[in-house]
Structure 1
Amino acid sequence: MRLPITVHRARLGATEFKVIRPARPPSHAVLIDRDRYLDVHLDRDAALRLGGLWALAATSPRALIHLPMRGNRPPSRPLPEDAAHRLDLVLVHHSLQFAPARWKEVRGRLGPGRPRTVTLPGSALESDAVVDHAARHHRENRDLFHQHLHAETLFMTGSAKVFRETARHFLDVAHEGPGHVPVHPDHPHFCTALHPNDGVLGDAREIHIRYREDWGP
């Protein structure tokens, strides 16, 4: 998969931060804070690009990967009651030890960035990759996501392994969503989730990832 990106840099004191953004952030994607859990609504193109960014986070331990999306319009219908609580998304490798409290200042110092295209190997985007589910539930498992909210941004911090193994959720939405046939009126859209039972969430809330194609003009 070829993923067009822009690479930005910002300096705070003696520290320089590298920030990666998609060259064309998807407009049909929203991240909503629903209090008890988080909701991602997106179309096929956004699901593919977000899956690519998720996989890129596994191979970019020294960069912050930023998806600006809080200004996007939510899907047309049904409109979530709390769609006003929309967030940006930043993916962070845990080894960077980035403090989210610094994000607002970093974000404010970013320039236009330099365009690049990264090529993600097929192995990084395998939706049926073999996962040791039993190992995820071992007490020693450290491949977990942790979340922080700051400056209208959700920070997903995790290891290369957990980013790599969970990118498939977005690929599942891209592949299964467009042809999904509802089996119950309460669940009209294809949905998958990062769930506590999956053994990938540490200090983190559940994330529902929903395919939507009704975005309107």
Structure 2
Amino acid sequence: MELRLTQFRPRTGPYEHRVVQPRQPLRHTSLREPAPIGMLMGDHDGLSRLAGLFSFAACSRHTIVHVPLRGCVPPDEGCGELVDLVLAHSEAGLRPSQWPELRRGLGHGTPLTVRTDEARTERHARAWLERPYDRGLLRHTTHARTYFLIGGREVLAQAATAFAYAAGWGPRHKRVVKGQSAFMAGLQNELEPTRGGGHPPEVLICFKPYPPYAHFKRPGR
């Protein structure tokens, strides 16, 4: 998959960071803060590009992927605060408390085009699934109206496959032709458990076409 991005090089003290954003916003994709259950709702374009962005984050160990979602077209389903999304490999060394300063430093960016390798992503995801008792999980937290997912290559790749599945099969769901959302996948086993117990954290991944719904046709129809 080809991803068209904008690249930034903000600094915090003596350190330079690499931050990328989608060049075009994911206009019809939104994320409700997981507290503890969040909802990520998107159309085919948004979910497909998120699959690519997770795949890119998995193999770009020193890159921070920022997906602005608060400015999306507000969804007419779900409740909770809309938040942005940040993905980072564990080796990027990102602390969520740093993010407001980094975000303020995102000035003029430069165009960047990258290609993801879906076969490699599938291999890494499969390796994560085949190691149920000794595999990395995604650290997650919400800070400064941003939801952070930080982890290793294989678990980020596994998350990428969940978004790819939702993008590919969501348009085939019967109810979406009426403008209803369809739950397609979720991130739960990939997320670290919440300290102190309570309901396990989860992000529901839902497909929903953008209006006007009369223009939407299921594949093969």
TM-score normalised by the chain length of structure 2: 0.84
Displacement of 1:134 after TM fit? 5.1
* Structure 2 contact 4–113 (Cα < 8 Å) conserved: yes
Alignment of 1:106-145 (within 5 A): 106-126=102-122, 130-131=126-127, 133=129, 135-136=131-132, 138=133, 140-141=134-135, 143-145=136-138
* Structure 1 contact 3–117 (Cα < 8 Å) conserved: yes
1:209: which partner in 2? Answer: 205
Counterpart of 1:202, as a letter, is E
CA distance in 2, matches of 1:214, 1:14: 44
CA distance in 2, matches of 1:165, 1:5: 22
Displacement of 1:215 after TM fit? 4.4
* Structure 2 contact 186–203 (Cα < 8 Å) conserved: yes
The total of aligned residue pairs comes to 203
Alignment equivalent of 1:165, drawn from 153, 158, 164: 158
* Structure 1 contact 176–190 (Cα < 8 Å) conserved: no
* Structure 1 contact 51–125 (Cα < 8 Å) conserved: no
SS of corresponding position for 1:178? helix
CA distance in 1, matches of 2:30, 2:21: 16
Displacement of 1:107 after TM fit? 0.4
CA distance in 2, matches of 1:20, 1:160: 18
Deviations 1:24-74 (A, max 9, x none): 121011000252211100000001100000000011111110000112123
Displacement of 1:153 after TM fit? 0.4
Displacement of 1:127 after TM fit? 9.7
Alignment RMSD: 2.3
Alignment equivalent of 1:103, drawn from 82, 99, 105: 99
1:181: which partner in 2? Answer: 174
* Structure 1 contact 69–87 (Cα < 8 Å) conserved: yes
**Residue identity (%):** 31
Can you give the 5+ residue segments of structure 2 that lack an aligned partner in the other structure? 195-200, 214-221
* Structure 2 contact 8–107 (Cα < 8 Å) conserved: yes
1:3: which partner in 2? Answer: 3
CA distance in 1, matches of 2:116, 2:123: 14
Does residue 52 of structure 2 align to residue 52 of structure 1? Answer: yes
SS of corresponding position for 1:27? coil
CA distance in 2, matches of 1:54, 1:154: 14
Counterpart of 2:71, as a letter, is G
CA distance in 1, matches of 2:140, 2:53: 17
Structure having the higher helix fraction is: 2
